[in-house]
Amino acid sequence: ASSPLPRHRRSYLPPTLLPALPVVVAMAALIRLAPLLALAKVTPQRAELLPATCNSSFVALAERGSKIDVIADWSTRLLFAENSLNVQLALTVLLVLVWKVTFKVVHQLVFRFEQRPWYAKALLRTVEGAKKSCGIDIAPEDASRIYANNWAISLQHTVSSFLCIPAMFSLVSPEFGSALTRHATLSEVAWEVMDIFEMWHRRYVSPGGALGRKVVPGSLIFVMACHHFMATTMVMPVNCYYSDIKSYAALVFSLQFAAAASLTTSSYVYSLDLMVPSELRQMQGLAVYQVCVTASLRGVLFIVSVFDLVCTFRSDQALVFLVLSVPAVLGMSYLNWIFIYDAWCRMRKFARWSPEKQGPPAERREPTGASTASTAPEKQPLAKGPAPPVLPRAARRMSAGSIAAVEFATERHALCCWRRRRASLALAREGEALAGYAPLPSMGRRPSVSSRRSSVCSLESSAPPSEGRAAATRAGEFTEESVGKASSDEASSPLTPDTISTTGLATSDDAESEASSDFGASSCSEEL
């Protein structure tokens, strides 16, 4: 026997070639199964070339019959998903290729809606939903791919669930119904195999490393392992021996349709605006629908169908099926409980949701950048002639930002304000009757921030627009016309809370835009 090669001379596949292994395996399987893709209408000249691309089993079968019979036989076996292991494996490879192409087409169809106004909101909620449910940090550039992938997965689960309906309700013959059930289960296996390879590629190859572990964390691997274990370990053995049982079709339908309904509902609700009453009612109705479907299928129908299957395994003394079914059923039961509880919590939250409690309607809200751009004054060229007269405007009510500016004035500003109040005490008493201005009870000590704030609030709330403006002027309060005059001698005249209150009026729109942007962020965080 030859001695093994030294360690430094052993050949290993470079890491860059590892992602190509699934592609190579799929291509090899496709080459071996190429004769099966042809139909019975193939020409005799083409049929003579088929045995050269077949393995020994195909050649041996061709020697016992004609080439067209071989093609027709394998096409029929694949079409009816024959309950044999080699046909199950071949059909799984074909379905992987079919769903891979289908997913690419669905992605391109979803990407056409990138310019719609709801698309960015849906991507944001997709990122937040992945962070909340699985603890995954999705990059913004990957959010669009994941959102489109959710629609593709919902399509695959919908097709698989519809294939189980004829066998459940005996709408067709038992042979044809069991064939449709086998196609449905192998379709799920094909998607899970494709998903496993994609997760492995993202975690270890691209991007790989620390970023790959962040994109595909261990929590996601655990959840997907609980989900994929049942199909990858149980489908092919059960298809070979128990595919004609109605409870098997019911089990597949319960899991496939529940997943399709949840994914479709969530992807659609991500695009809704909860501040619009009509869309809020849609969301509430879909939340109730999701709870009913999830609880009835993943709760009731899943338990009944699994119990019937386990009883069948026990009566047949199929120990291998019993051993494999225990971890598969436990893992899927854990996921079912998570999905049911999550749907119930969402329904309770959105049943009490009210737009009035959350803020202004959606049509009144603008993004921060848009509101800033719209409220920013445009620069006008300086006029060479005399300045136009400034028309008097009614006093505006102080906003929350202006009051906060007065409240958080520095000690130096408070001292200057106190000295000015002592000098204008006579004028303040004169304007008290008209404006309801409450002068300070004692001028022997500095006024506190709370007393100055109450004075400003009483002036703004009780005085009429015209009278309050005149009284504030007589009481020493700065108006918008005096701001320009005060800015010229800013060095000699210290800044007072009165000037802060006047300048705060100009910033009220900015405060409202900030509040609307905060509300927009909070409304986007509410996702189904």
pLDDT of residue 414: 64
CA 227 to chain centre: 20
pTM of the model: 0.57
The encoded tokens of residue 255 equal 């899991």
Give the chain's length. Answer: 528
pLDDT of residue 36: 40
Contact, 100 vs 61, CB < 8 A? no
DSSP states along 337-381: HHHHHHHHHHHHHHHT--HHHH-S-GGG---HHHHHHHHSPPPPP
pLDDT of residue 315: 87
Contact, 408 vs 521, CB < 8 A? no
The domain spans of the chain are 15-79, 85-358, 400-502
pLDDT of residue 82: 87
pLDDT of residue 336: 92
pLDDT of residue 479: 41
Residue 429's contacts (CB-CB under 8 Å, 6 or more residues apart) are 439
Tokens 């201005």 sit at which residue? 437
Cα separation values, 270 from 106, 336, 405, 461, Å: 18, 22, 39, 42
**CA dist., res. 92 & res. 183, Å (int):** 9
pLDDT of residue 16: 40
Find out whether the peptide bond into 207 is cis, omega within 30 degrees of 0: yes
The encoded tokens of residue 433 equal 């009757």
Residue by residue, pLDDT tens for the chain (528 residues) are: 344 433 333 333 334 444 445 555 554 554 444 444 333 333 444 344 333 333 334 444 444 455 667 777 778 888 888 888 888 889 999 999 999 999 999 999 999 998 898 998 888 888 888 777 766 777 777 888 899 999 999 999 999 999 999 999 989 998 899 999 999 999 999 999 999 888 888 888 877 888 888 888 887 888 888 888 888 888 988 998 888 899 999 999 999 999 999 999 999 999 988 888 888 899 999 999 999 999 999 999 999 999 999 998 888 888 888 888 888 898 899 889 989 998 998 899 888 877 655 555 444 444 444 333 444 444 444 444 555 554 454 444 555 555 555 455 455 566 676 777 666 776 666 665 555 555 545 445 555 545 544 544 444 444 444 444 444 444 444 444 443 443 444 434 444 434 433 333 333 334 333 333 333 333 333 333
pLDDT of residue 307: 94
Residue 154's contacts (CB-CB under 8 Å, 6 or more residues apart) are 259, 260, 263, 264, 267
pLDDT of residue 142: 80
**CA dist., res. 53 & res. 28, Å (int):** 11
Which amino acid makes up residue 89? Answer: L
Nearest to 243 by CA among 162, 177, 192, 156: 177
